[in-house]
Amino acid sequence: MSDFRYEVDIQAPPARVWSVLLDVERWPEWTTSVTSAKRLDIGPLTLGSRTSIVQPRLSKRVWRVSSLDETYRSFAWTTQSLGLKIVGYHRVDETDTGGSHVTLSLHFSGILGPLIARIFSDLNRDYLAREGNGLKAHCEVIPWPIASPVAHARQAPS
């Protein structure tokens, strides 16, 4: 198996979940699968942006954004070394209730891809679950929908 996938429903609006996902340098605040994340470019995450990621039990890797679709709230990034290419996919869809359905996946390819995927299969599944569950916990901290302070002020008796 060279593909791993984790899906989670989050009781928070897709815009909120998407903004948390795009702020990759803050991932260590909400997932234990990332020890550190440092953007190697200035500005917002865009096609071609690079991020250096350190994860427990793995060597530091540089991930480059290979696709980004703001409309469909999805991005993929790729890391590679001799004989190995890994693509990480992230997608946020809106649920019928206005919450979010998040899909996270990894695809291993290259001559060493299937072997590395098999050796690290348990770790891959664990890290995807940590990322998904950490994102859920982080995004659900503040109940939603959140009424603005102005809306509360208008509802107050005169």
pLDDT of residue 87: 98
Q: Is the pLDDT of residue 136 over 80?
A: yes
pLDDT of residue 144: 59
Q: Domain extents for the chain?
A: 3-155
% of the chain surpassing 90 pLDDT:
86
Q: State the average pLDDT for the chain.
A: 90
- Whole-angstrom distance, CA of residue 155 vs CA of residue 153: 5
**Nearest Cα residue to 31 out of 50, 12, 56:** 56
pLDDT of residue 151: 38
Q: Which fold has domain 3-155?
A: Alpha-D-Glucose-1,6-Bisphosphate; Chain A, domain 4 (3.30.530)
Q: Looking at residues 80-102, what average pLDDT do you find?
A: 96
Q: Looking at residues 25-38, what average pLDDT do you find?
A: 97
- 3-class SS at 57? coil
* Location of structure tokens 């997932």: 31
pLDDT of residue 141: 87
Q: Looking at residues 50-73, what average pLDDT do you find?
A: 95
* Location of structure tokens 């690290």: 120
Q: Is the pLDDT of residue 158 over 70?
A: no
- Whole-angstrom distance, CA of residue 90 vs CA of residue 103: 6
